[in-house]
Amino acid sequence: MPDYQHHWKDGTPVHLPLGKIVCIGRNYAEHAKELNNPVPDEPLLFIKPSTAAVHITRPLDIPKDLGEVHFETELAVLIGRPLTNASASEAESAILGYGLALDLTLRDIQSKLKEKGQPWERAKAFDGACPLSPFVAADKLPRDNIHFTMDIDGERRQTGDTRDMLNPIVPLIAHISSHFSLMPGDVVLTGTPKGVGPLRSGQTLTLELEDLLFLQTKVT
């Protein structure tokens, strides 16, 4: 939304504009299985517009009368340099920070779109569809062993680890840049682990990234 601004964990603004949000589908095999989806042969990419971004700690105002809204917790990667046809080393050097995101999905609408072979944007790109956390500097985390969790009302619902990704972070970013350029301020969502499900009004979500980020938000 218009008032969204990237921030560091300490509240300092990241002086980059929010660009596009590039998402990868089915990057954890167990998540693909839970939705009865085939595991893709190459990264399955789609884009959320900048208007989908909101601050994750603000109450989640989910759409009404459009069917179930599902949560998908994901590791978010903040891009700090332009990338086009990037090598692995160039992709690695462009990672400015890591955070957490919710890829909110209108699941009933997505299912109908999939049946028709149509794009997913109606289900994935609505205003508020990408709550984003503050970011932690990239050098604070080992990218090949990053752990994150999401609880609802105190119950563990999702556990993610970058070691379980079908497409690891650096090769994924390089692959994306071979199809379209990534720019400073763009965010890459790296896929969700198993455990996705519907959001309900009144729920409290707790998200943790290693011991570096602890966040709570409530569904309105």
Task: State pLDDT tens for residues 117-172.
Answer: 999 999 999 999 999 999 999 999 988 899 999 999 999 999 999 999 999 999 99
Look-up of token digits 């002086």? 15
- The rounded distance, in Å, linking the Cα atoms of 33 and 142 is 27
Give CA angle at 15 (10, 18), nearest 5°. 105
Phi, psi of 84 (to 5 degrees): -140, 125
Average pLDDT over residues 83-94: 98
Q: Is the pLDDT of residue 1 over 50?
A: no
Rg of the chain taking only CA atoms, in angstroms: 16
pLDDT of 143 reads 81
Cβ(91)–Cβ(83) below 8 Å: yes
Question: Which pTM was predicted?
Answer: 0.95
Count of other CB atoms within 10 angstroms of residue 22: 24
DSSP E strand stretches across the chain: 21-25, 44-48, 53-55, 69-71, 73-79, 95-102, 105-106, 130-132, 136-137, 147-152, 155-161, 187-189, 197-198, 204-209, 213-218
**What separation in angstroms does the CA of 115 have from each of 26, 33, 74, 129?**
17, 17, 25, 22
CATH class entry, domain 21-218: alpha beta
- The rounded distance, in Å, linking the Cα atoms of 56 and 187 is 14
pLDDT of 2 reads 55
The encoded tokens of residue 66 equal: 């459009």
Count of other CB atoms within 10 angstroms of residue 31: 23
Average pLDDT over residues 178-198: 97
- pLDDT tens, position by position, 59-79: 999 999 999 999 999 999 999
Above pLDDT 90, what percent of the chain? 89
Cβ(177)–Cβ(68) below 8 Å: no
The encoded tokens of residue 120 equal: 């997913």
